[in-house]
């Protein structure tokens, strides 16, 4: 197994992965749900700035109701490009991922105008393994001027995180995640090298 995975599983590379072990996305790990909440609560000035900012933001009416905010396939080329750039950056920063292929982007409205929660189905190509590993990533995306989309993975507040959790628990998203889980299990069963590689990756991350 060590020969199959190459030098990517040396002690040196395991140590390198300490700062980015959340990037594995094995199947439907929702990356944004594990991000920190950056509000201290002790700084009066920061609290005041947050209140002013919230007053200026327009809430998306009905965004918490599944029937009014259904999961839909993304139609924006600019949003698609932002997601592609994000996953390309992830692949470049890891030793074990070669690329993320076949991105399928589904979105729901965020709690505020010009914000979106994206559920991204992908096929992750692990280095030196032929079979690609299906998965789903969850991204929080903001929009500016209708063309400038940005993937946010930091500085999410409690309301934003709670909204993501709410959407992830709705029936249409759960169906998407279940579909990805089945594809994930099928891929592992079809390729012994892939299954062994995933076990080695999990072991390396658990000991980092």
The confidence score (pLDDT) of residue 26 equals 38
Whats the size of the chain, residue-wise? 208
The confidence score (pLDDT) of residue 36 equals 34
> Sheet containing 148-152: which strands, arranged edge to edge?
72-73, 97-109, 115-126, 133-144, 148-152
The confidence score (pLDDT) of residue 35 equals 35
Give the Cα separation of 128 and 116 in Å (integer): 35
The confidence score (pLDDT) of residue 155 equals 80
**DSSP letter string, 52-108:** HHHHHSPB-TTTTSTTTS--EE---HHHHHHHHHHHHHHHHT-SSEEEEEEEEEEEE
The confidence score (pLDDT) of residue 206 equals 82
The confidence score (pLDDT) of residue 53 equals 52
Domain residues of the chain, as ranges? 2-32+39-206
Token readout for 165 is: 């959790």
The confidence score (pLDDT) of residue 83 equals 98
Task: Give 129-159 pLDDT, tens digit per residue.
Answer: 999 999 999 999 999 887 899 998 778 889 9
Q: Are 204 and 16 in contact (CB under 8 A)?
A: no
Give the Cα separation of 131 and 188 in Å (integer): 9
Neighbours of 29 (CB within 10 A): 15
Residue ranges, the chain, pLDDT below 50: 1-43, 48-49, 51-52
């Amino acid at each position: 197994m060590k020969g199959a995975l190459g030098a990517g599983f040396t002690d040196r590379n395991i140590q390198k992965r300490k700062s980015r072990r959340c990037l594995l996305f094995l199947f439907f790990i929702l990356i944004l749900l594990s991000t920190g909440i950056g509000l201290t609560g002790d700084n009066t000035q920061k609290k005041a700035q947050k209140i002013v900012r919230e007053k200026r933001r327009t809430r998306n009416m009905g965004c918490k109701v599944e029937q009014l905010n259904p999961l839909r396939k993304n139609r924006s080329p600019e949003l698609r490009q932002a997601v592609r750039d994000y996953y390309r950056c992830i692949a470049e920063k890891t030793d074990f991922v070669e690329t993320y292929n076949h991105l399928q982007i589904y979105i729901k409205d965020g709690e505020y105008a010009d914000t979106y929660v994206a559920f991204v189905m992908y096929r992750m190509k692990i280095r030196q393994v032929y079979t690609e590993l299906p998965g789903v990533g969850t991204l929080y995306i903001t929009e500016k001027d209708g063309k400038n989309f940005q993937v946010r993975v930091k500085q999410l507040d409690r309301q934003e995180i709670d909204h993501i959790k709410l959407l992830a628990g709705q029936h249409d998203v759960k169906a998407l995640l279940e579909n990805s889980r089945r594809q994930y299990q099928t891929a592992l069963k079809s390729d012994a090298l892939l299954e062994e590689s995933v076990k080695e990756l999990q072991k390396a991350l658990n000991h980092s």
